[in-house]
Amino acid sequence: MSTKTNIAPFIDHTLLAPAASRDRIRALCVEAVDFGFHAVCVNGVWVPEAARMVSDSPVRVCAVVGFPLGASSTAAKRAEAEAALADGAIEIDMVIDLGGLESEEYDRVRADVAAVADAVTARDGLLKVIIESAGLDDDDIVRACELAVAGGADYVKTSTGFGPGGASVDAVRLMRKTVGPEIGVKASGGIRTYDDALAMLEAGATRIGTSSGPVIVRLTGDEG
């Protein structure tokens, strides 16, 4: 028997390419069900299709909001979240207001998160806030995590995968230290191997966002 950790239950199987086709989204969902991943993570336009594809399974649908820049208005982010939840998403991954963070307009950043958190909570959903950690120094990572939690986030997440870099063990460790044991940490961006994923989990991540889930799970020896 393999002694490797079965990472499948921690994985959000992700396809966020803007030109992703319906066939690719369907394939993503089939893989998520077959491998026993936690969720599929898609752009809002594909939420109804993903929800239909995984409806007879435990796989959840996650939609991104304010993606990938975080520069949408708060009203737009909230409306986008509400639409995705109405279409069948259960989890929302929103990008933090990076411009507000850079400008040290911290009340604005917190209020942005809170508006989306209010919409997500009303639907019994789960909110993850992407802080784009590779573009921040340690002080800003801590501040972004604190603001996300103050705004009502259930998780903080490292990266969009479209920014200056992906997840790092150091960032995940700092994020976990900042938010404590009650808030989730999602490592996402550049995680392509079993060793990558395991390192993130050991650093404190409780969810892994990756498009390489099937490869990672095959390496555990525990595929379904």
Show the CA angle centred on residue 75, arms to residues 84 and 131, nearest 5°.
Answer: 75
The answer, yes or no, to whether residue 222 has pLDDT greater than 70, is no
Q: What does the domain layout of the chain look like in residue ranges?
A: 8-218
Using a 10 angstrom Cβ sphere, with 0-12 exposed, 13-18 middle and 19 or more buried, the burial of residue 192 is middle
Which CATH number does 8-218 carry? 3.20.20.70
Q: What is the pLDDT of residue 218?
A: 84
Compute how many other C-beta atoms are within 10 angstroms of the C-beta atom of residue 193.
13
The answer, yes or no, to whether residue 4 has pLDDT greater than 90, is no
122 backbone dihedrals φ, ψ, rounded to 5°: -60, -25
Q: What is the pLDDT of residue 5?
A: 86
Give the CA count within 13 Å in the CB-facing half-sphere of 29. Answer: 24
- Three-class SS of residue 141? helix
Q: Work out whether the CA dihedral 69, 181, 9, 174 comes out positive or negative.
A: positive
Q: What is the pLDDT of residue 1?
A: 34
Catalytic machinery residues: 93, 157, 186
177 backbone dihedrals φ, ψ, rounded to 5°: -60, -40
Tell me the C-alpha to C-alpha distance, in Å, between residue 183 and each of 36, 44, 92, 139, 168. 23, 25, 15, 19, 18
Q: What is the pLDDT of residue 224?
A: 47
